[in-house]
Amino acid sequence: MSTPLDPIDDERNAADQPRHDWTRAQAEALYDLPFADLIFRSQSIHRRNFDPNRVEIASLLSIKTGGCPEDCGYCSQSAHYRTGVKATRLMDISAVVQTARRARDAGASRFCMAAAWRNPKDRDLDQVCAMVSAVKDLGMETCATLGMLSEDQARRLQEAGLDFYNHNVDTSPEFYGQIITTRTMQDRIETLGFARKAGLKVCCGGIVGLGETIDDRLGMLMLLANLEAHPESVPINMWNEVDGVPVNNTAERPDPISLVRVIAVARIMMPGSVVRLSAGRQYMTDELQALCFVAGANSIFIGDVLLTTKNPQTSRDASLLDRLGIASKLDSVSAKVQIADEAAVKAAV
Ligand code: SAM
Ligand code: DTB
Ligand code: SF4
């Protein structure tokens, strides 16, 4: 092995002593380990902090789709690009609760409500708070992702029963400006700070496959791991391809081995965080997903659609988890569960 790994100290890296001082050299040294050594380290750390045979099941609903004023270069919902996604109004509470109940009955323990906003208007936030309280009453963990928040909005969401706020850094600080120009990385960090201050748990990660380098992938992980507190959830999305967005000019589907390495490094750097294998599972083989779980991923979204793009069918996920010996409520339900309604599944790109 060419690069000495000292002073990486896995013992010091238990969840109760999380580190926030990761250097680029250490991140690179981990990423470059021979594959078996990297996976052994990440799986050992995973086992010290989690049940290795458990995967969290979350479900996602777009409560307000499209027409977004932001220019995120990967996104089907930005009003800046012609992607064929139709803008909708904020959903009724009853329809949201109905979808959440279906997701719960299909085996999901967390329900994430997403809106294509730069930031919520106060009037809309009242409606989202009512949704959050109603979903919480179903006995589910609640998560929302609504764009930038003010301190007061974060507090109101927390009081309504919100458990998690999702707001991603998306990529490395160096690559960020090539993907988004309408909000800065600093804006995002500020919203994450307001969420924390309000007592919300933080769900924060990013995307691979936009055309970023491996250094960018590691830069994103370092940014997350060196935050004052590690996000409780870290979604790693692989870009779900969308026609008509600028990222098509640079995008490259990551080498599957690189994806597994990224997951393993995330697990080692943020040992107590739940790492979600998020968008992009539609392109992954069962074997690749299994490797990601072994490397330390321990959460997925179920449902045939994410927000506007496809996700594996729940029956396929049920079969995969079952064959891996990962207990879930999914294997006890009908093989034909459809959480989103028919129209959303047809519209998914
Ligand atoms: N509009 C809100 C915002 O961006 O703050 C919340 C929803 S937005 C869709 C949440 C995250 O989903 C983005 O930050 C990005 O990381 C991820 N995402 C969006 N489109 C994606 C795509 N096509 N493939 C993979 N991930 C995507
Ligand atoms: C996250 O990191 N991934 C989810 C959730 N947070 C909101 C969103 C994935 C969206 C995939 C693209 C789409 O379906 O439009
Ligand atoms: Fe809007 Fe969110 Fe899409 Fe960016 S990622 S364009 S903020 S919906």
Residues paired with 143 in a beta bridge: 112, 164
- Tell how far the Cα of 83 is from the centroid of ligand 2, in angstroms: 16
The Cα 28–Cα 36 span in angstroms is 16
> Considering every ligand atom, which ligand is closest to the CA of 147?
1
Q: What is the predicted pLDDT for the residue at 329? A: 76
Cα Rg, the chain, nearest whole Å: 19
Q: What is the predicted pLDDT for the residue at 340? A: 74
Tokens of 308: 């506007």
Nearest CA to ligand 1 atom 27: 239
Helix (H, G, I), strand (E, B) or coil at 191: helix
- Tell how far the Cα of 204 is from the centroid of ligand 3, in angstroms: 14
DSSP letters spanning 71-136: --TT-TTBTTS--SPPP-PPPPHHHHHHHHHHHHHHT-SEEEEEE--SS--HHHHHHHHHHHHHHH
> Considering every ligand atom, which ligand is closest to the CA of 247?
1
| 301 membership: H or E segment, kind and range | strand 299-302
The Cα 213–Cα 234 span in angstroms is 20
Q: What is the predicted pLDDT for the residue at 1? A: 39
Task: Name every protein residue with a CB atom under 6 angstroms from any ligand 3 atom.
Answer: 68, 70, 72, 75, 77-78, 116, 147
- Tell how far the Cα of 249 is from the centroid of ligand 3, in angstroms: 19
- Tell how far the Cα of 79 is from the centroid of ligand 3, in angstroms: 9
Q: What is the predicted pLDDT for the residue at 4? A: 43
The Cα 78–Cα 116 span in angstroms is 8
Q: What is the predicted pLDDT for the residue at 9? A: 56
Please answer whether residues 64 and 117 qualify as being in contact, where contact means their C-beta atoms are separated by less than 8 angstroms: yes
Which of 255-289 are b and which e, b meaning 16 or more Cβ less than 10 Å from the residue's Cβ?
A: ebeebbbbbbbbbbbbbbbbbbbbbbbbbbeeeeb
Nearest CA to ligand 1 atom 23: 240
- Give how far Cα 60 sits from Cα of 165, 166, 250, 295, Å: 13, 11, 27, 24
> Considering every ligand atom, which ligand is closest to the CA of 74?
1
> Peptide bond before 34: cis, by omega within 30 degrees of 0?
no
Tokens of 301: 């979204």
**Could you give the residue numbers annotated as active site?**
68, 72, 75, 112, 143, 203, 276
Q: What is the predicted pLDDT for the residue at 346? A: 77
Q: Which parts of the chain register pLDDT below 50?
A: 1-4, 6-7
Q: Give this prediction's pTM.
A: 0.95
Q: Which of 237, 240, 305, 311 to mutate to test the pocket of ligand 1 (most atoms within 8 A of CB)?
A: 237
- Tell how far the Cα of 72 is from the centroid of ligand 3, in angstroms: 6
Residue tagged 């997403």 (tokens)? 114
Sign of the torsion formed by the C-alpha atoms of 279, 280, 284 and 288: negative
The Cα 122–Cα 120 span in angstroms is 6
Q: Among the atoms of ligand 1, which is closest to the Cα of residue 147?
A: 5
- How many Cβ atoms sit within 10 Å of the Cβ of residue 322? 14
Q: Among the atoms of ligand 1, which is closest to the Cα of residue 74?
A: 23
**Annotation: CATH topology of 52-348:** TIM Barrel (3.20.20)
- Tell how far the Cα of 71 is from the centroid of ligand 3, in angstroms: 7
168 lines ligand 2 (CB under 6 A): yes
Q: CA nearest 223: which of 185, 251, 261?
A: 185
Which of 168-206 are b and which e, b meaning 16 or more Cβ less than 10 Å from the residue's Cβ?
A: bbbbbbebbebbbeebebebbbbbbebbbebebbbbbbb
Please answer whether residues 266 and 236 qualify as being in contact, where contact means their C-beta atoms are separated by less than 8 angstroms: yes
Domain range annotation of the chain: 52-348
The Cα 13–Cα 271 span in angstroms is 7
Q: Which of 188, 237, 349 to mutate to test the pocket of ligand 2 (most atoms within 8 A of CB)?
A: 237
pLDDT, the chain, mean: 93
Nearest CA to ligand 3 atom 4: 72
Nearest CA to ligand 1 atom 5: 147
Q: What DSSP designation does 161 have?
A: T
The Cα 78–Cα 68 span in angstroms is 5
Nearest CA to ligand 1 atom 21: 75
Helix (H, G, I), strand (E, B) or coil at 236: strand
